């Protein structure tokens, strides 16, 4: 296997220093890299894409509120002043924890071995269809920028198709948008699509009335937003219904196909079904041969290292650790704090000491936003809903986007959209049509 | 063939009014539609994409200066308040001028007939490879938003690949960017790529030095910018060379393949070759069976109508008309003025009169920009180069972007980029690698 050495053109960090390899340029990986800025190590951060993504706002690209560039920033740009960090755009395919090597592919180089002294796996999660892989092509999920622009294309094309479609019996399926999964993503996205249909697009069509679009949110559990208190979840449900989202709870989706979904025995015809129901961790557990929980998250020690491999850390969505009797949730905050903690452990060991305490997640509160001017906020010491929570949401997100150097532009975009009710990013980028073939006979 | 009637859900314009069909949502089509706002007609504007594109800034998407949404706006949004206009996203495939019908495809409907009383064809131009169609896949052109993001991906991936590539003999080809064609697009894009490599990317790479990237502009004619005076073209050439663009003139590109180009008998290895050399008009001339010039532009009457069909107008890049002994150039201004003129002829005829004068293009001057803070401006009464021309360029473009509702955001983006020398939109959206296979033996 090939070895990644510093080439003759290298202007990189001193190769005598301990080598920290970080896999993943999400919240966990970037936070770890930044926390190692002044530590005497050389860092290689590996990601298969060239950009860090502000995941909590990804749905706003799918709903045409923000452009891709407003929530994503090149990882190189984020780390450009940190001279001890080298960024590599390649795909990690495995780890040999005994030999302390990461394996990766790039271009025509396969199975390249990258030796490490410390390894931080911050490889996140991907969409899970709970074993129903065949649903993926009918109900795309939302994890990457191209997922988001694909969903945006799909939603916008459905209205275009309805405007041109003379067979009016096809209109209901074209103008029905179904979101499967009542977590924050499903709630926020269905609310934004209802606003798009009912506020933004109304004046732009001549033959159809976008106000008649149906937006349906389906949750199999007894209520939406199970991570929030019942009181706030109820407020959100009322708000969703007021802006025109039909909320179905306690019914399982039994089938998804090109005609739509079957839920609780009833078929709902729709050309646009979006999957926001489940996630599964990255295969880091398999790479390491480590013990995992039921869904595949690596069971880490209290210091976030892998049992038996104190030099390997797993942070964020791919790690399993209980705190106060409950597993840590898959939130940006958990990943960021985890990345910084792992960096602190490494810095401490290099000074010949161990950190005196295990990882402790500080819950700063949980937010969800439903359309223009309404959000809920829940933390250990407060619950808030409505416009005031929305202001808190907007301020916090503008603050965190500081990471991206473009918070002023996002702010300008939001201010513009808020004042004009326009959506700033309604481009259909892909060629090709949506599928208008007749529903399967069997599916009926 | 199916007929496009107003469906039962129609909220569109009064169908007793004369029907003006406009094909193309570029500068010509949008200007014609807007000029018909208060005229008693119903308008159907047809385009195969959902957005109007501000073509003169398209290269800035390819060079990562602007995001796609900043130079494109949904046609529906532009015309949302104009109630006599219906927008259709479909692809026109032909015209029957005798029967006064346009034929179009959308979704699973093929060859749909749309009757018209007046027809304005504003179908623009596309890339021409002068019969060397096989060059297209090695040297993409720049006509659509996806062309622009594809070029952006290609350029950014070349740097990523070089950073990881340990075989340093592969570095020169990865870090050589060739632009074929010394017109405004080639000049402006090569200047911006030189800035990207030499100013923006420098601090972000650790193993390669982006300053060593070669940017080469090749023009077969005796000089670049043949539409400008020799004096200004010379200034631009000096400026390009100062910011690190190698300019080759008077040599023909004889071959383009995956290894690079052969120019004047010499091979230059490059993984990134961009075609900015030629355009050809849309097939409107074939649709109409009308007389065309050598490259296929429809020879129109002085009132921009097609000889023998006074109800059919051709405007913009697809029309051929001489003024002062020279064909009108393929510029946004010509298309906009042509679209407005055709609308005026229609409005006049509906009042039972003919316009007293033929179309006369008013040349407001020609601009080209080379990197940060340098442009040239040439009109009948002035020539300007340098920073002052760049300020004029920036003001004019911000003014015209008013069409898009987002001039403030573009201004903010430019101001930010200017101050920080950052490029705001450096996302690699597509999966898949650039081709690093060995050069063909035959090609050597």
Question: Which pLDDT belongs to residue A402?
Answer: 60
**Residue B114, strand partner residues:** B102
Split at pLDDT 50, 70, 90, the class of B354 is: confident
Residues B239 and B256 in one domain: yes
Structure tokens given for A128: 């899970």
Q: How far apart are CA A436 and CA A161, in angstroms?
A: 9
List, for residues A20-30, the tens digit of each pLDDT value: 999 999 999 99
Would you tell me which residues 403-422 of chain B have a C-beta closer than 8 angstroms to some C-beta of chain A? 405-406, 408-409, 412-413, 416, 420, 422
Between these two residues, B417 and A213, which has the higher pLDDT value?
A213
Question: Which pLDDT belongs to residue A275?
Answer: 96
For Cα atoms A241, A246, A252, give the angle at the middle one, nearest 5 degrees: 135
Looking at chain B, which residue has its C-alpha nearest residue A50?
A: B428
CATH code for the domain in which residue B119 is found: 3.50.50.60
Q: What b-and-e string marks burial along A366-397, b requiring 16 or more CB atoms within 10 Å of the CB?
A: bbbbbbbebbbbbeeeeebbeeebbebbbebb
Residue A91 sits at the chain B interface (C-beta within 8 Å): no
Structure tokens given for A431: 């060629």
List, for residues B361-383, the tens digit of each pLDDT value: 998 888 898 987 899 999 888 89
Question: Which pLDDT belongs to residue A426?
Answer: 65
Question: Which pLDDT belongs to residue B166?
Answer: 85
List, for residues B220-234, the tens digit of each pLDDT value: 999 999 989 999 999
Interface A–B counts its CB contacts (< 8 A) at: 199
Question: Which pLDDT belongs to residue A80?
Answer: 87
Q: What is the DSSP letter of B199?
A: I
Q: How far is B203 from chain A (nearest CA, A)?
A: 6
Q: Which of B277, B298, B315 marks a domain boundary? A: B277
Classified as helix, coil or strand, B163 is helix
The mean predicted confidence, pLDDT, of chain B is 87
Residue A392 sits at the chain B interface (C-beta within 8 Å): no
Chain A residues within an 8 Å CB radius of B76? 201, 204-205
Question: Which pLDDT belongs to residue B255?
Answer: 96
Question: Which pLDDT belongs to residue B88?
Answer: 93
Would you tell me which residues 222-281 of chain A have a C-beta closer than 8 angstroms to some C-beta of chain B? none
Q: Based on the structure, what is the number of domains in chain B?
A: 2
The pLDDT > 70 percentage for chain B reads 87
Alpha carbons within 13 A on the beta-carbon side of B38: 0
Chain A residues within an 8 Å CB radius of B85? 206
Q: What b-and-e string marks burial along B125-138, b requiring 16 or more CB atoms within 10 Å of the CB?
A: bebbbeeeeebeeb
Question: Which pLDDT belongs to residue A437?
Answer: 43
Chain A residues within an 8 Å CB radius of B53? none
Question: Which pLDDT belongs to residue A436?
Answer: 44
Residues B345 and B292 in one domain: yes
- Provide the annotated active-site residues of A: 188
Q: How far is A337 from chain B (nearest CA, A)?
A: 25
Classified as helix, coil or strand, B82 is coil
Classified as helix, coil or strand, A102 is strand
- A423 pLDDT more than 60: no
Structure tokens given for B269: 């290895």
Q: What is the mean pLDDT of residues A18-42?
A: 96
Split at pLDDT 50, 70, 90, the class of B273 is: very high
* Residue B392 belongs to some domain of the structure: no
- A439 pLDDT more than 60: no
**Locate tokens 């975009």: which residue?**
A413
**pTM score, whole prediction:** 0.85
| Torsion over CA: A193, A197, A203, A205 (sign) | positive
- Provide the annotated active-site residues of B: 188
Question: Which pLDDT belongs to residue B70?
Answer: 76
CA distances (Å), origin B368, targets A131, A144, B330: 56, 37, 15
Q: Which of A201-215, A365-379, A382-396, B257-271 has the highest mean pLDDT?
A: B257-271
Residues A89 and A151 in one domain: no
Q: How far is A187 from chain B (nearest CA, A)?
A: 26
List, for residues B60-81, the tens digit of each pLDDT value: 889 888 778 778 888 998 898 8
Residues A271 and A322 in one domain: no
Q: Which of B233, B254, B277 marks a domain boundary? A: B277
- A10 pLDDT more than 50: no
Residue B71 sits at the chain A interface (C-beta within 8 Å): no
* Residue A52 belongs to some domain of the structure: yes
* ipTM of the prediction: 0.80
Q: CB–CB of B107 and A164 under 8 A?
A: yes
Residues A341 and A371 in one domain: no
Report residue A180: phi and psi, to 5°.
Answer: -100, 110
Q: How far apart are CA A198 and CA A190, in angstroms?
A: 12
Split at pLDDT 50, 70, 90, the class of A2 is: very low
- B10 pLDDT more than 80: no
Question: Which pLDDT belongs to residue A293?
Answer: 95
Residue B2 sits at the chain A interface (C-beta within 8 Å): yes
The mean predicted confidence, pLDDT, of chain A is 87
Q: How far apart are CA B190 and CA B243, in angstroms?
A: 10
Residues B155 and B103 in one domain: no
* Residue A438 belongs to some domain of the structure: no
Q: How much is the CA Rg of chain A, to the nearest whole Å?
A: 23
A129 touches A278 (CB < 8 A): yes
Chain B residues within an 8 Å CB radius of A434? 107
List, for residues A234-289, the tens digit of each pLDDT value: 999 999 999 999 999 999 999 999 999 999 999 999 999 999 998 899 999 999 99
- B5 pLDDT more than 80: no
Between these two residues, A437 and A164, which has the higher pLDDT value?
A164
Number of residues assigned to chain A? 444
Question: Which pLDDT belongs to residue B372?
Answer: 79
Chain A residues within an 8 Å CB radius of B12? 206-207
Would you tell me which residues 313-342 of chain B have a C-beta closer than 8 angstroms to some C-beta of chain A? none
Residue B365 sits at the chain A interface (C-beta within 8 Å): no
- B3 pLDDT more than 90: no
- A430 pLDDT more than 60: no
- B181 pLDDT more than 90: yes
Residue B105 sits at the chain A interface (C-beta within 8 Å): no
Classify residue B354 by burial, with Cβ atoms within 10 Å: 0-12, 13-18, 19+.
Answer: exposed
Looking at chain B, which residue has its C-alpha nearest residue A52?
A: B427
Between these two residues, B167 and A7, which has the higher pLDDT value?
B167
- B413 pLDDT more than 70: no
User: Which of A2, A7, A70 is best to mutate for the B interface (most B CBs within 10 A)?
Assistant: A7
Q: Which of A37-46, A357-366, B405-414 has the highest mean pLDDT?
A: A37-46
- B404 pLDDT more than 90: no
- Dihedral class, residue B371 (left if φ above 0, else alpha if ψ from -120 to 50, else beta): left
- A44 pLDDT more than 80: yes
Residues A31 and A120 in one domain: yes
Which is nearest to A371 in space by CA: A402, A414, A333? A414
Classified as helix, coil or strand, A418 is helix
Split at pLDDT 50, 70, 90, the class of B248 is: very high
Between these two residues, A431 and A16, which has the higher pLDDT value?
A16
Q: How far apart are CA A427 and CA A403, in angstroms?
A: 26
* Residue A355 belongs to some domain of the structure: no
* Residue B253 belongs to some domain of the structure: yes
* Residue A114 belongs to some domain of the structure: yes
Residues B244 and B289 in one domain: no
Q: What is the mean pLDDT of residues B155-173?
A: 91
Residues B311 and B221 in one domain: no
Q: CB–CB of B9 and A207 under 8 A?
A: yes
Q: How far apart are CA A181 and CA A225, in angstroms?
A: 9
Split at pLDDT 50, 70, 90, the class of B420 is: low
Question: Which pLDDT belongs to residue B440?
Answer: 40
For Cα atoms A311, A312, A313, give the angle at the middle one, nearest 5 degrees: 120
Between these two residues, A173 and A379, which has the higher pLDDT value?
A173
Classify residue A99 by burial, with Cβ atoms within 10 Å: 0-12, 13-18, 19+.
Answer: exposed
The DSSP string of B334-371 is: HHHHHHHHHHHHHHHHHTT---SS--------EEEE-S
A65 touches B69 (CB < 8 A): no
Which is nearest to A122 in space by CA: A354, A284, A320, A251? A284
The pLDDT > 90 percentage for chain A reads 65
CATH code for the domain in which residue B273 is found: 3.50.50.100
Residues A214 and A149 in one domain: yes
The pLDDT > 90 percentage for chain B reads 65
List, for residues B92-113, the tens digit of each pLDDT value: 999 999 999 999 998 778 889 9
- B410 pLDDT more than 80: no
Residues A294 and A209 in one domain: no
Q: CB–CB of B428 and A106 under 8 A?
A: no
Question: Which pLDDT belongs to residue A99?
Answer: 96
* Residue B73 belongs to some domain of the structure: no
Would you tell me which residues 145-204 of chain A have a C-beta closer than 8 angstroms to some C-beta of chain B? 145-146, 149, 156, 160-161, 163-166, 168, 171, 201, 203-204
List, for residues A107-130, the tens digit of each pLDDT value: 778 889 999 999 999 999 999 998
Question: Which pLDDT belongs to residue B2?
Answer: 42
Q: How far apart are CA B93 and CA B105, in angstroms?
A: 7
Name which of B5, B208, B408 is nearest A412 (Cβ-Cβ).
Answer: B408
Chain B residues within an 8 Å CB radius of A426? 50-51, 74, 77
Question: Which pLDDT belongs to residue A90?
Answer: 92
- A176 pLDDT more than 50: yes
Q: How far is B232 from chain A (nearest CA, A)?
A: 35
Looking at chain A, which residue has its C-alpha nearest residue B6?
A: A207
Query: Domain range holding A40?
Result: 19-126+279-350
* Residue A14 belongs to some domain of the structure: no
Split at pLDDT 50, 70, 90, the class of B437 is: very low
Q: What is the mean pLDDT of residues B302-321?
A: 97
Q: CB–CB of A166 and B5 under 8 A?
A: yes
Q: How far apart are CA A248 and CA A370, in angstroms?
A: 17
Residues A94 and A177 in one domain: no
Q: Which of A300, A321, A350 marks a domain boundary? A: A350
Structure tokens given for A118: 């410390």
Element (H, E) at A42: strand A42-47
- A138 pLDDT more than 90: yes
A159 touches A205 (CB < 8 A): yes
């Amino acid at each position: 296997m090939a070895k990644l050495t510093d080439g003759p053109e290298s202007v990189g960090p001193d190769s005598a220093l301990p080598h920290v390899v970080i896999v993943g340029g999400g919240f966990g990986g970037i936070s770890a890299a930044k926390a190692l800025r002044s530590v005497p190590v050389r860092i290689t951060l590996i990601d298969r894409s060239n950009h860090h993504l502000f995941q909590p706002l990804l749905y706003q690209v799918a709903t045409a509120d923000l452009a891709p560039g407003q929530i994503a920033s090149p990882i190189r740009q984020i780390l450009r002043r940190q001279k001890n960090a080298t960024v590599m755009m390649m795909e990690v395919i495995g780890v040999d924890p005994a030999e302390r090597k990461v394996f990766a592919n790039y271009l025509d180089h396969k199975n390249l071995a990258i030796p490490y002294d410390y390894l931080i796996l911050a490889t996140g999660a991907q969409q899970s269809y709970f074993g129903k892989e065949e649903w993926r092509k009918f109900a795309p999920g939302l994890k990457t920028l191209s997922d988001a622009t694909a969903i945006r294309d799909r939603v916008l094309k459905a209205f275009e198709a309805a405007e041109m479609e003379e067979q009016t019996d096809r209109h209901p399926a074209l103008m029905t948008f179904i979101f499967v999964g009542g977590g924050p993503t499903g709630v926020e996205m269905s609310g934004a699509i209802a606003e798009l249909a009912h506020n933004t697009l109304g004046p732009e069509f001549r033959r159809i009335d976008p106000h008649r679009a149906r937006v349906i949110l389906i949750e199999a559990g007894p209520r939406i937003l199970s991570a929030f208190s019942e009181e706030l979840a109820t407020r959100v449900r009322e708000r969703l219904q007021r802006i025109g989202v039909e909320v179905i709870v306690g019914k399982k989706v039994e089938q998804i196909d090109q005609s739509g979904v079957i839920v609780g025995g009833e078929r709902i015809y729709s050309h646009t079904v979006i999957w926001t129901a489940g996630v599964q961790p990255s295969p880091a557990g398999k790479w390491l041969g480590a013990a995992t929980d039921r869904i595949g998250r690596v069971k880490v020690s209290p210091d976030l290292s892998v049992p038996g491999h104190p030099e390997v850390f797993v942070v964020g969505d791919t790690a399993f650790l209980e705190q106060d009797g409950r597993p840590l949730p898959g939130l940006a905050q958990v990943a960021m704090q985890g990345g910084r903690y792992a960096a602190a452990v490494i810095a401490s060991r290099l000074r010949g000491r161990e950190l005196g305490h295990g990882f402790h997640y500080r819950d700063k509160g949980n937010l969800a936003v439903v359309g223009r001017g309404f959000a809920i906020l829940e933390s250990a010491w407060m619950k808030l809903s409505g416009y005031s929570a929305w202001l808190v949401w907007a301020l916090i997100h503008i603050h965190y986007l500081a990471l991206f150097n473009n918070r002023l532009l996002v702010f300008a975009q939001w201010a513009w959209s808020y004042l004009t009710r326009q959506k700033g990013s309604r481009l259909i980028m892909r060629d090709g049509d949506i599928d208008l073939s007749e529903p399967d006979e069997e599916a009926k």
